A = this chain, B = another copy of it.
Amino acid sequence: MSGNTFGKLFSVTTFGESHGPAIGCVIDGCPPGLPLSEADIQPELDRRKPGTSRHVTQRQESDTVEILSGVYQGVTTGTPITLLIRNEDQRSKDYGNIAETFRPGHADYTYWHKYGVRDPRGGGRSSARLTAPVVGAAAIAKKWLHQQYGTVFKGCMSQLGDIVVPFQDWTHVPDNPFFAATGDAAVIASMETYMDELRKAGDSIGARIDVVAQNIPVGLGQPIYDKLDADIAYAMMGINAVKGVEIGAGFKSIAQKGTEHGDPLTPQGFVGNNAGGVLGGLSTGQDITVSIAIKPTSSIRTPRPSIDKDGNPVMVETFGRHDPCVGIRATPIAEAMLALVLIDHALMHRAQCGDVKVSTPNIAPSAAP
């Protein structure tokens, strides 16, 4: 209810602040009998962790995960799984100057008004650091979904500021610091240059991220409010800095005619995927395709006009260590949120309709996003 739990049947309650002693989460509802150890989780955390290139925050965190409960003799027991990640590299003094002022575009202002108190160190609870436990929880969800249905998740950055990244192949994603699905060295170089200039200028930039889930049973979702796409939109818009969400054709649907948008069905499967894998709120068995818009980081070095707690005008510049493009590390986070939505709906579907099978007929893989 108070907004720190994601999911109903596979529910993840996160805790912690950017500069507190630890962050983590409690996962309630993981089915019993899943082989699980830290080694299943750490690789996903490593994809998201800071300090892996010069284009992201230089805060040094190993993000080493400890499983505190819910696993016995290497297998999940059906009881809550707790993941704990100790914070290691707090530098709270960097935030002294913003404790009394509000950064334009930052949650500072709204936290202060809501709670009457806030932890200004690194954004406190509003920090994107809090996506780490979610990525950890989603590693477990991904493993279970893969075991049950063969589900796999893919994601990439498809736009950085004005630079549109042409999609080549998913295999390129781990080979560059941007999660770009391209092997074109010139494109990557232009992104590197762009980010270097931005960093020197003390500014930040937005990005677009695409994520896809493949091998999904037909019928996941609810018909009216907990539509699969509605829950995906909720999950994605809940990621820090996201300002827009599209499923399938998304905003392009506005100018499409019905004869163009509706994906025809054939005995061999759907032709096209304007639906993005969801019709009437339920999965079609095609790829789930999602695209999100991420705003530029609000914590920038360039001084900006603002006010202090007393309403007096001030200029605010942010020190501390920040990602000049929060979109760069957002790909594994967006995949994680999609995985959490899908496992929740898979369990719900099992409650409603019994054991779920992946329907093989009538499903054609969609093209790349």
Contacts and interface: CB of A to CB of B under 8 A. Distances in A.
A257 B297 CA distance: 8
A253 B68 contact: no
B117 A224 contact: no
B243 A250 contact: yes
A115 B33 contact: yes
Copy number in the complex reads: 4
A338 to B, nearest CB: 14
Contact of A237 (B29, B107, B227, B361): B227
A219 to B, nearest CB: 3
A329 interface: no
Scoring A32, A222, A231 by chain B CB atoms within 10 A of each residue's CB, the highest score goes to A222
A54 interface: no
Interface string A294-326: 111110101011110001110000000000000
A166 interface: no
A130 B224 contact: yes
A290 B262 CA distance: 25
B116 A205 contact: no
Contacts of A15: 26, 68-70, 79-82
Contacts of A246: 243-244, 251, 293
B238 A224 contact: yes
A293 B250 contact: yes
Interface stretch (A1-9, A38-46, A55-63, A173-181): A1-9
Interface in A186-211: 198, 203-208
B293 A4 contact: no
Interface string A211-228: 000000011111111110
| Listed residue (A81, A260, A261, A298) with the most chain B CB atoms within 10 angstroms of its CB | A261
A340 to B, nearest CB: 10
A201 to B, nearest CB: 8
A200 to B, nearest CB: 13
A267 B5 contact: no
A78 interface: yes
Contacts of A29: 1-2, 351-352
14 contacts: A1-B28, A4-B222, A15-B70, A32-B115, A72-B119, A78-B117, A105-B279, A109-B362, A110-B278, A110-B284, A159-B254, A203-B257, A233-B234, A237-B247
Given A208-B254, A257-B296, 13 more contacts: A2-B80, A3-B227, A9-B351, A24-B68, A33-B116, A77-B124, A105-B274, A107-B282, A125-B224, A225-B238, A234-B237, A258-B298, A347-B352
Top-10 shortest CB links A-B: A107-B280, A3-B222, A105-B262, A114-B219, A204-B258, A110-B282, A234-B234, A104-B262, A3-B226, A351-B351
